């Protein structure tokens, strides 16, 4: 999946992957990170996710990165949030003002980020980033996440795994073995929840899936 693919999805409004409601696993498991109040949270490939509103409401500043400027602008306009915007170092940065202060979204390339860009972030949240990456890009995504997050930073990772003969991604199947292989070198990994069944297929049932596995991971960046 290259950049042009995702840009076209947003420009054509083909965003069935966008969840309007706040993810229930985020609200159930976020406290497991035991963060200091006010810890900034990095959200890779953030889209216009409502999950960022929830994090902000809990008192956590958010720094999101998203390829599509359409998605970033929509996050602020659809939620009626005031913002300013500017071009800085290859990114189109949107910053919330007034009650939206602390919400900062950058439109640009995740792989162009440097650790210094997000040095203030002591946590991260990945609901749909790793599973959006095709197998040939996933190792690069994981390596970049390890390079960006500072030692001691913690995060929540949500994945799905399924029989790939039944459906082509995205979202892609990411097995536990794959997570351990790609992230286990940089992060300590704890599985907080493992669910298997057909009851959470949602619109993926229409694409031929009969069942899937869901996992929620707590990650801790190694020293």
Question: How far is residue 12's CA from residue 23's CA, in Å, rounded to a whole number?
Answer: 25
Task: Determine how many CB atoms are found less than 10 A away from the CB of residue 13.
Answer: 10
Structure-block tokens of residue 125 = 């949240």
Find residue 186's DSSP bridge partners.
none
Cis peptide before 170 (omega within 30 of 0): yes
pLDDT at 4 (0 to 100) = 77
For the chain, the maximum distance between any two Cα atoms, rounded to a whole number of angstroms, is 49
pLDDT at 189 (0 to 100) = 98
Q: Which of 38, 92, 89, 42 is nearest to 64 (CA)?
A: 42
Cβ–Cβ < 8 Å for 137, 94: no
Find residue 158's DSSP bridge partners.
216
This prediction's pTM = 0.94
Give pLDDT tens digits along the chain (223 positions). 567 776 777 677 665 555 678 999 999 999 999 999 999 999 999 999 999 999 999 999 999 999 999 999 999 999 999 999 999 999 999 999 999 999 999 999 999 999 999 999 999 999 999 999 999 999 999 999 999 999 999 999 999 999 999 999 899 999 999 999 999 999 999 999 999 999 988 889 999 999 999 999 999 999 9
pLDDT at 183 (0 to 100) = 98
Task: Determine how many CB atoms are found less than 10 A away from the CB of residue 84.
Answer: 10
CATH superfamily for 3-11+23-111+118-221 is Vaccinia Virus protein VP39 (3.40.50.150)
pLDDT at 17 (0 to 100) = 59
Cβ–Cβ < 8 Å for 52, 61: no
Domain boundaries, the chain: 3-11+23-111+118-221
pLDDT at 16 (0 to 100) = 59
């Amino acid at each position: 999946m290259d950049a042009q693919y995702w840009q076209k999805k947003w420009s054509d409004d083909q965003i069935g992957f966008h969840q309007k409601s706040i993810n229930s696993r985020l609200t159930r498991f976020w406290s497991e990170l035991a963060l200091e109040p006010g810890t900034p949270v990095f959200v890779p490939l953030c889209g216009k996710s409502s999950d960022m509103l929830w994090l902000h409401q809990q008192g956590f500043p958010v720094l999101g990165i998203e390829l599509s400027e359409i998605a970033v602008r929509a996050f602020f306009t659809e939620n009626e949030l005031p913002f300013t915007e500017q071009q800085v170092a290859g990114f189109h940065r949107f910053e919330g003002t007034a009650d939206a202060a602390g919400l900062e979204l950058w439109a640009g390339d995740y792989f162009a980020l440097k650790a210094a860009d997000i040095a203030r972030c002591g946590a991260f949240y990945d609901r749909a980033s790793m599973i959006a990456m095709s197998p040939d890009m996933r190792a690069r995504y994981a390596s970049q996440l390890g390079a960006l997050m500072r030692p001691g930073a913690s995060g929540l990772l949500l994945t799905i795994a399924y029989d790939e003969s039944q459906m082509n991604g995205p979202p892609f199947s990411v097995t536990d073995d794959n997570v351990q292989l790609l992230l286990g070198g940089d992060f300590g990994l704890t599985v907080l929840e493992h669910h298997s069944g057909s009851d959470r297929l949602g619109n993926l049932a229409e694409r031929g899936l009969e069942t899937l596995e869901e996992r929620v991971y707590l990650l801790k960046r190694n020293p």
